[in-house]
Amino acid sequence: MHKPAAPVSPPGNRPWQVETNGINRIPDTARNGRPRDLFWIWFAANIGILAVVYGGVIASFGQNFLQGVLVVLLGSSSFVLVGIFGVAGRDGGAPMMTLSRAVFGIWGNIAPNIVSWASLLGWETITVTLGTFALMALLGPVLPLGTIALALWSMVIMVALTVMAGLLGQATLVLIQTWASAIFGALTLLVIVLLIAGTHWQSLLTERPGPWLDGFVPALSIVVAGTGLSWANAASDYSRYLPRRVRGSRIVWSSALGGGIPLTVLMLTGLLLAGRDPSLAASANPIAALRSVLPAWASIPYLIAAAGGLVAEADLSLYSSGLNLLNMFVPWPRYKTVLIDAAIMIAGTVYIVLVARNFFGPFESFVTLLGVGLAAWAGVFLVHQQGRRREGSDRYPDHLVYAPRGARRGAAAVNARALASWAAGVLAGLLFTSSPFVRGPYARGIFATSSLALAFAFGVSGLLFSLLSLRSRRPPVQVDTRIPTCDDGPSRKEKA
């Protein structure tokens, strides 16, 4: 009996080669991914030191340690949403915001797609900024450079590593994220052991509880917005290479555990650190604040772990943001859209590092505002996804996902029910938004500090879309699917 042949990488997606797949559907013959790939992808995406800062954020809302632990556990479980949306990638074989066209319509999807793209660009900028801070601290003692020159060199290194991985594509990212999980995960674990040494457990466990509505709820909202919700719009970008035979439960658990385990450990570490240094969350340079509580000899492994973990997080954002651009009919191959996003990311990083010199205020406002748009989108998409599965229609037909010319005009191009539900959710969230730089008109009284904007956005959009969908169960308008477009797959040059 012959042994089965080992899986071979498809021609358009091989490690260490530029991936030529864009937003085209991945054929069944090219789907050689494994659920454990998702575990390592999401694990590496969350071993960056940013999760420690979330622990400081939780403490800054006046939560005691036990309340903080509850926020950490609930916030980390938000990666279940990433796993659920990852099932759509297995079913549709296309990126997340491409499958979103089946819900909002070919043109209607552009509005939530813009929010998704802006969110991914923002996360790229945040992670590269923190990585730049880490490299500045690492290289500063050995390079006789001024602050600006040191910042620029550190930024160049950080950007180069991030862009290289984002350019090469999914197959390379799977390898990089697996290695990053092992190497930087081990270094991070060493740093954690050092950071929690000297914690006064008795005083920590006997602290009085903080406010629930004004403290617990906003802390949880920020954690959810910055963890599972911020990655939900990229979930199927990495699950689309899984064979259809893979069980949905394996996709959900691989994603939830891959993202949840490092988040839980690192946020708990941040909670312990905040008890020793309450200024952690408000620091203009959280990397330096964390370094100050370490023994001198531990600085090098800490900074290497910080920078490496942030590269592993930024490269996924860059890859997915390039796919988001293709969904807006940019007629270029994927690698060119990645370069566009990289240029914008560099500009944002320069501003934060050299001009603004402030991290936490812009960070919290960014997470809250774009989180509202993503929460409203997630509410609509979740209702749509579960409805299709109940009806036994878990596939995403080409005429709903791609853009033959007949679908670019008329009612078939926009799902008014989905778009109206999303807009209503965004409006509801913005009315109650409470952040350092933006405050909604109804963020008063009990809503002044409760940060219920995300819950309102998710609940209003999902509920309204459910109600509107009940009124109309007619099948979607069929269009001519025989006319291809230039933005749904590799260009002619790439195929050649």
Q: What CATH code is carried by the domain that includes residue 314?
A: 1.10.4160.10
Report whether pLDDT(373) > 80: yes
Contact status, residue 132 vs residue 314, Cβ threshold 8 Å: no
| Averaged pLDDT for residues 56-61 | 82
In a domain, residue 405? The reply is no
Q: Taking the chain, what is the end-to-end CA distance rounded to the nearest angstrom?
A: 38
pLDDT at 12: 62
For residue 250, the enclosing domain spans: 28-360
In the chain, count of helices (H) and strands (E)?
A: 22, 0
Number of domains in the chain: 1
Contact status, residue 255 vs residue 83, Cβ threshold 8 Å: yes
The C-alpha atoms of residue 323 and residue 237 are separated, in whole angstroms, by: 8
In a domain, residue 465? The reply is no
More confident residue, 169 or 437: 169
In a domain, residue 403? The reply is no
pLDDT at 9: 44
Confidence bin at 159 (pLDDT 50/70/90): confident
In a domain, residue 489? The reply is no
In the beta sheet, which residues pair with residue 439? 434
Contact status, residue 30 vs residue 10, Cβ threshold 8 Å: yes
The C-alpha atoms of residue 102 and residue 381 are separated, in whole angstroms, by: 9
Least reliable range by pLDDT among 106-115, 277-286, 350-359: 277-286
Report whether pLDDT(405) > 70: no
% of residues, the chain, pLDDT over 70:
78
- DSSP letters for 137-176: HHHTTTS---HHHHHHHHHHHHHHHHHHHHHH-HHHHHHH
Six-digit token string for 204: 């920590």
In a domain, residue 409? The reply is no
Confidence bin at 255 (pLDDT 50/70/90): very high
> What are 318-353's pLDDT values in tens digits?
889 989 999 888 888 887 888 888 888 888 888 777
pLDDT at 239: 94
- Going from the C-alpha of 63 to that of each of 208, 222, 326, the distances in angstroms are 9, 14, 43
Q: In terms of DSSP H, where are the helices of 197-247? A: 201-205, 217-226, 228-232, 235-239
- DSSP letters for 188-202: HHHHHHHHHTT--HH
Q: How many CB atoms lie within 10 A of CB 303?
A: 26
Report whether pLDDT(311) > 60: yes
Report whether pLDDT(6) > 50: no
| Averaged pLDDT for residues 136-151 | 82
Contact status, residue 49 vs residue 287, Cβ threshold 8 Å: yes
Taking the CA of residue 273 as centre, how many other CA atoms within 13 Å lie in the half-sphere pointing to its CB?
30
Of 46-50, 82-86, 467-471, highest mean pLDDT:
82-86
Pick from 429, 441, 386, 477: which is nearest to 224 by CA?
429
Output phi, psi for 434, to 5 deg: -135, 105
Mean confidence (pLDDT) of the chain: 79
In a domain, residue 263? The reply is yes
In a domain, residue 34? The reply is yes
The C-alpha atoms of residue 230 and residue 281 are separated, in whole angstroms, by: 19
In a domain, residue 459? The reply is no
